[in-house]
């Protein structure tokens, strides 16, 4: 429950819609109970009329019609406002999670799998957004209906009131609370196993070609079947607990009904209650337990919602990798970069140790060095994706921790080793870096990245769809499109991590020569394994033992 409370402000933002849904569900339930009660009273009284008693048929038949009409309308309105509020909450929850996820996507933590994050953004959010509709709302509605009927019994049939009150409280409060307690682990299991199954599917799709080529599709399938089996087992366990609880609710309902009948007949024989009223009360008691029928199902949903809430808060409350300063300094106009005596690592031995680097505004520097020596980590520090454990990183003489991250990122563009292409047109993929870029700017960026002629030859040109992850273009072409995107950006500093991956030697040489001209005036740090053509950068440095030489 505590985990759900963390989301109260989001739930409260939809308080009006949920409040209306709750009110209407109360009206629908009350109308249902009143309908049964009135019908029982009406039918019994009508039967007695034929036995010679005078009875006004019109008022009760009007009531029966009125209650059924109210019930239909209220139920419709409840669904409408409840679902409307739920869908709005869903949008809010997704936005909330996205806003928290991005600053926390930890550079230092590799334990989160993509599939798991997808699960959190989809099914966990879904489980949570229906928490009110399927879990909290029905419990509140049942409590109000049960309380009201117990009140009516105190008035009309006092001996049965206590019995009904106790049975109802057990069915709506004690039993669900017990069920939440015993099924908490099962709920968590279901959510975790479902996330594992989703991650297994995504991994299988991603690695499909390699799994096929290595001939281990059977092993992968067996792994997935195993995950699916564990998910089914967890679901069965939760369903079994819910079935036992359902049975207990039915027993309580039967107890309340039989008890009311017995006590009512005793009151009837003493003349304390008349026949039609007793019949009406009996049906109302049966009807009131209708409100409890959904509760067991609701509790199962509640336990999964609680587990989902825990998984979401685990991300949302994790400390962000870096924090913006409370009052950020103005972004310096000057674009020099400096790292002084920087030490940085990922928890193990430092990757960068006592590293110094100073890059003048407009200077083009190439960094080479063995794989794993820390070149990409250095670029991450320059973007403040992480802070060094020791030493300082400055931009234009101002320490990065004094600047807003958005300002740093507006002034510095990155081509990372795994820059993605999104499932959209070439134009849309490029415009990410400069939303107001005109066609001339796009073509010149494509030319600088050495891919202009390829795009010009496409029937749809800039409007060609590249497919998910750039599947419809080759790896080298995808890389060049990403490079064009980085070059298109108006950032005054360019950080390029292996920009020539996937290019042949001639294209590689052409790229470095073009970069020299295309990025003139901008500060450039290019990390590469390629042999750099003479004169295409101002300085070449080698990363070795955590330092630059």
Ligand X SMILES: Nc1ncnc2c1ncn2[C@@H]1O[C@H](COP(=O)(O)OP(=O)(O)OP(=O)(O)O)[C@@H](O)[C@H]1O
Residues that bind ligand X (CB under 6 A): 107-108, 110, 346, 351, 371-377, 417
- Of the pair 376, 398, the CB lying nearest ligand X is at 376
- Of the pair 85, 543, the CB lying nearest ligand X is at 543
- Of the pair 301, 375, the CB lying nearest ligand X is at 375
Look at residues 134, 144, 139 and name the one whose alpha carbon lies nearest to residue 26.
144
Question: What's the rounded Cα separation, in Å, for the pair 329 and 35?
Answer: 68
- Of the pair 264, 546, the CB lying nearest ligand X is at 546
Residue 358 to residues 230, 342, 354, 516, 519: CA-CA distances in angstroms?
Answer: 55, 12, 13, 19, 19
Question: By three-state DSSP, how is residue 541 classified?
Answer: strand
CB of 380 to ligand X, least distance (A): 7
CB of 236 to ligand X, least distance (A): 38
Q: At what angle do helices 175-206 and 217-269 cross, to 10 degrees?
A: 160
- Of the pair 38, 368, the CB lying nearest ligand X is at 368
Question: What's the rounded Cα separation, in Å, for the pair 126 and 90?
Answer: 7
CB of 331 to ligand X, least distance (A): 26
CB of 418 to ligand X, least distance (A): 10
CB of 168 to ligand X, least distance (A): 55
CB of 530 to ligand X, least distance (A): 12
CB of 527 to ligand X, least distance (A): 6
- Of the pair 302, 351, the CB lying nearest ligand X is at 351
Buried b (16+ CB within 10 A) or exposed e, 459-470: eeebebebeeeb
Give me the sign of the Cα torsion angle 461, 463, 467, 468: positive
Question: What's the rounded Cα separation, in Å, for the pair 71 and 91?
Answer: 30
- Of the pair 2, 110, the CB lying nearest ligand X is at 110
Taking the CB of residue 398, how many other CB atoms lie within 10 A of it? Answer: 17
Question: What's the rounded Cα separation, in Å, for the pair 163 and 169?
Answer: 10
Query: To which residue do tokens 């390029």 refer?
Result: 496
CB of 209 to ligand X, least distance (A): 23
CB of 383 to ligand X, least distance (A): 13
CB of 171 to ligand X, least distance (A): 52
Question: What's the rounded Cα separation, in Å, for the pair 282 and 273?
Answer: 12
Report yes or no: 416 and 337 within 8 Å, Cβ to Cβ.
no
Query: To which residue do tokens 């990183």 refer?
Result: 393
In whole angstroms, how large is the CA radius of gyration of the chain? 34
- Of the pair 347, 521, the CB lying nearest ligand X is at 347
- Of the pair 373, 523, the CB lying nearest ligand X is at 373
Report yes or no: 422 and 465 within 8 Å, Cβ to Cβ.
no
Q: Enumerate residues 6+ apart whose C-beta is below 8 A from 483.
A: 415, 449, 496, 499, 511
User: Side-chain half-sphere of 332: how many Cα atoms within 13 Å?
Assistant: 15
- Of the pair 149, 367, the CB lying nearest ligand X is at 367
Residue 406 to residues 24, 330, 337, 434, 478: CA-CA distances in angstroms?
Answer: 46, 12, 17, 15, 26
- Of the pair 288, 416, the CB lying nearest ligand X is at 416
Kindly compute the dihedral angle of the four CA atoms of residues 188, 207, 111, 419, in this order, to the nearest 10 degrees: -130
CB of 497 to ligand X, least distance (A): 7
Report yes or no: 188 and 237 within 8 Å, Cβ to Cβ.
no
Question: By three-state DSSP, how is residue 374 classified?
Answer: coil
CB of 108 to ligand X, least distance (A): 6
- Of the pair 250, 321, the CB lying nearest ligand X is at 321
- Of the pair 176, 350, the CB lying nearest ligand X is at 350
Look at residues 244, 241, 247, 250 and name the one whose alpha carbon lies nearest to residue 304.
241
Q: Enumerate residues 6+ apart whose C-beta is below 8 A from 375.
A: 367, 368, 369, 497, 527, 543
Question: What's the rounded Cα separation, in Å, for the pair 309 and 129?
Answer: 10
Cα 415–420–424 angle (5° rounding)?
Answer: 125
CB of 348 to ligand X, least distance (A): 7
């Amino acid at each position: 429950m505590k985990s759900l409370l963390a989301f109260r402000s989001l739930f409260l933002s939809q308080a009006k819609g949920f409040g209306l849904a709750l009110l209407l569900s109360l009206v629908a339930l009350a109308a249902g109970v009143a309908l049964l009660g009135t019908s029982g009273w009406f039918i019994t009284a009508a039967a007695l009329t034929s036995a010679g008693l005078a009875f006004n048929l019109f008022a009760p038949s009007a009531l029966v019609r009125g209650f059924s009409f109210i019930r239909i309308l209220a139920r419709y309105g409840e669904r409408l406002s409840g679902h409307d509020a739920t869908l709005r909450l869903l949008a809010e929850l997704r936005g909330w999670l996205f806003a928290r996820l991005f600053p926390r996507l930890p550079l230092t933590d590799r334990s989160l799998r993509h599939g798991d994050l997808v699960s959190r953004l989809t099914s966990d959010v879904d489980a949570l957004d229906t928490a009110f509709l399927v879990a909290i709302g029905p419990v509140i509605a049942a409590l109000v209906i049960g309380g009201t009927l117990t009140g009516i019994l105190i008035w009309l049939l006092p001996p049965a009131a206590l019995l009904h009150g106790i049975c109802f409280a057990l069915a709506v409060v004690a039993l669900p609370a017990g069920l939440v307690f015993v099924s908490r682990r099962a709920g968590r299991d279901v959510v975790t196993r479902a996330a594992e199954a989703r991650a297994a599917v995504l991994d299988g799709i991603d690695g499909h070609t390699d799994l096929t080529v290595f001939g281990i599709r059977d092993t992968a399938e067996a792994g997935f079947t195993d995950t699916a089996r564990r998910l089914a087992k967890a679901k069965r366990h939760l369903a079994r607990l819910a079935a036992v609880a359902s049975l207990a609710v039915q027993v309580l309902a039967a107890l309340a009904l039989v008890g009311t009948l017995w006590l009512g007949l005793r009151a009837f024989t003493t003349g304390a209650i008349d026949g039609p009223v007793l019949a009406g009360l009996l049906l109302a008691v049966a009807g009131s337990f209708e409100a409890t029928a959904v509760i067991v199902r609701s509790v199962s949903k509640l336990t999964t919602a609680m587990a989902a809430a825990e998984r979401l808060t685990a991300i949302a409350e994790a400390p962000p990798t870096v924090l913006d300063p409370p009052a950020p300094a103005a972004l310096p106009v000057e674009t020099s970069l400096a790292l002084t005596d920087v030490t940085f690592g990922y928890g193990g031995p430092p990757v960068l140790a006592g590293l110094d680097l100073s890059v003048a505004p407009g200077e083009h520097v190439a960094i080479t060095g063995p794989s794993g020596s820390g070149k990409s980590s250095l670029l991450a520090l320059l973007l403040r994706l992480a802070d060094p454990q020791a030493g300082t990183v400055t931009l234009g003489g101002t320490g990065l921790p004094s600047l807003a991250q958005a300002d740093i990122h507006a002034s510095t563009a990155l081509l990372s080793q795994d820059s993605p292409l999104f499932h959209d047109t070439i134009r849309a993929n490029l415009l990410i870096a400069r939303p107001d870029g005109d066609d001339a700017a796009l073509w010149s960026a494509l030319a600088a990245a050495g891919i202009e002629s390829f795009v010009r030859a496409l029937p749809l040109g800039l409007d060609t769809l590249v497919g998910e992850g750039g599947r419809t273009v080759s790896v080298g072409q995808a890389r060049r499109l990403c490079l064009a995107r980085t070059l298109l950006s108006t950032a005054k500093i360019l950080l390029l991590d292996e920009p020539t991956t996937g290019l042949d030697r001639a294209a590689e040489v052409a790229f470095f020569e073009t970069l020299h001209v295309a990025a003139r005036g901008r500060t450039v740090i290019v990390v590469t394994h390629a042999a750099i053509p003479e004169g295409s950068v101002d300085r070449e440095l080698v990363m070795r033992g955590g330092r630059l030489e």
